[in-house]
Structure formats: C-alpha cells, structure tokens
Amino acid sequence: MPEKLIFGVDFSGASAVPNNTWLATGRLGTAGLEIIEVKKVGSQGLMDELVKHKGVAVGIDSPFSLPVEFLNYMARSQQRTPYQSFQEMAEALFFLGQPAFIEMVKTFKREPKRVTDKWKGSLAISPLHRGNPSMVQMTFQCIQLLAKLPADRFYTLPFQTEVAHGCAVIEVYPRDTLRFFQLKETGYKSKDKKDEPVVTSARHEIVQGLLELKEKRGLTYRNVPKLSINKGLIASVTNSDHALDAVIACYTTALFAEAKELFVDPFTLDDLDILLEGWIYRPSNET
C-alpha cells in the first residue's frame, strides 16, 4: 500500500513559549508504522507543522469539546438557545474569550464528564478539571486550534464529514491505549528529578512493549501495525513523558487508520450529546 503520514500530539495549554506540546510523525506502510520524528513544537507552532505536511490522520491527546451540562450553562449565561453544533459552540467560546471562559468554569464549580470520558471505565477526566493537571486552559486552546485548521484539508471527527484526500483529526487518550494492550499505564510521569530513574525505566518498558506487540502477541492483535523506532529516537522518547505520549497518540492514530474494527463508531451509540461533546477514539474490545 502507498505510505501515509500519521501524526500524534501530546497537547499542552501552558503559557510557556514553547510549551510542552510534542509532535510525533510516523510513516505508515506495508511494514507497519515507523516513527520518523519526535519533537517539541509548542502549541503555538503546532498548526504550522500540521499544515506544511500532507498527513492522512492526526491524533491529539486533549479534549476536543466540553460536557453538555456545562455547554447548556454557558448558553444560558449568554441568554441564547442551546448550541446545535461544535462550530456554533466554538464561535461562542472565542467570542467569550479565554479569561471569561476560565471565570465561567470557576463559577460553574462542577467538573462533569462527557459521555466519552465515562465510557466503559475509561481513565479520562473531565475537560473542566481544575486540579493538577488543569484541563481548562488546554481544552480552550485545543478547541481554538481545531477551529483554525484549514477546512479544505482537515476534518475533525465526529463533528465534521470526511474531506476528500484530507486529514482526519481525532481525540485520543494514550493511557486508554496502554490499558487496551495491557501495558504499563502509570508511573511513567514525574515532576521530581529524584524520581527520574524510575520513570525513565517505566517509559522504556512501555516503549519495548509497544515495539514487541506483533512478535509476542501477533495472534491476539492480528491487524495492528508493527511499530518501529530507531535507537536515537527511542532515547528521546524514554527521556520525556510528553514525547512518549505523542508516540502513543501517533500509534493509536495508525490503529484507527488501519484497524477501524478495534474502534467504536460513536454514532452507533444513538446519543446526540456526542455531536457536541466529541469522542475519544481508543481501541476497545467492546466493538
């Protein structure tokens, strides 16, 4: 089959420039998915990176929208009818602005989950979570990114219909992917340097587990692409949890491109909230 470019993003809403938004780029072909680049691009530089390459799919580790309960509250606060589409909500959000949005989240006080965050025991947290990590600013900035992507080249699922020869944009959650493959899903992130040897070892274990999926568990996972990463990039990935999450996001997106039977079609759930809240595309045994 012709090779395809696949991207994975670990998104950050931090104010630092550049912040810890990492982009993993993979080449998907008959031999599987080869990770060819992993780099810190910052959220400010992410759109330029995606636009300058012709990819077929990008998976972003960040909420794409907000719980309907909060969206209805936001609509009432603006004295308007409930939102009917993602685009309508996004436009209202940008008119509101990030500071006013953050203040509204504080006034709302609650942190409800979306349908997809609660689905089948997912490990996802609410996009309105204000603890550590805070999801509020990141969610706002990710929605802003999605709305700015060129509409003739990118389409965000499940909100938009497919664009011919375009790039699908999906929300992914690396931890759910690791759980699906029964790999280590915790203990690979740390903010304390004294823990670095332990978390680095955990990242190495996760990377090796992904690299060996086809050899060791090929009978169980027949249709998943083989993952390959050169030694230089493995060192970079094991040195950063953000880089690792970007690689897992990239691999999840390659799975979506090649083994859709592992993914639930959200439209089969007959829940209209999904058209506003979005969906996490994660491999599942519940398809």
pLDDT at residue 63, as a whole number? 97
Q: Which residues of 129-163 are buried (b: 16+ CB within 10 A; e: fewer)?
A: beeeeebbbbbbbbbebbbebeeeebbbbbbbeee
Q: What is the pLDDT of residues 20-32, one digit of tens each?
A: 999 999 999 999 9
Distance separating alpha carbons of residues 170 and 155, to the nearest angstrom: 9
Tokens of 102: 């953050």
Secondary structure of 122-181 in the HEC alphabet? CCCCCCCCCCCCCCHHHHHHHHHHHHHCCCCCEEECCCCCCCCCCEEEEECCHHHHHHHC
Res 80: pLDDT: 93
pTM confidence score: 0.96
pLDDT at residue 218, as a whole number: 74
Q: Report residue 42 as tokens.
A: 């910052």
Per-domain residue ranges of the chain: 4-64+147-262
Below-50 pLDDT ranges, the chain: none
- Position 287 scores a pLDDT of 62
**pLDDT tens digit sequence for 57-116:** 999 999 999 999 999 999 999 999 999 999 999 999 999 999 999 999 999 999 999 999
Instruction: State the pLDDT at residue 219.
Output: 78
| CATH code at 4-64+147-262 | 3.30.420
Would you call 37 helix, strand, or coil by DSSP? Answer: strand
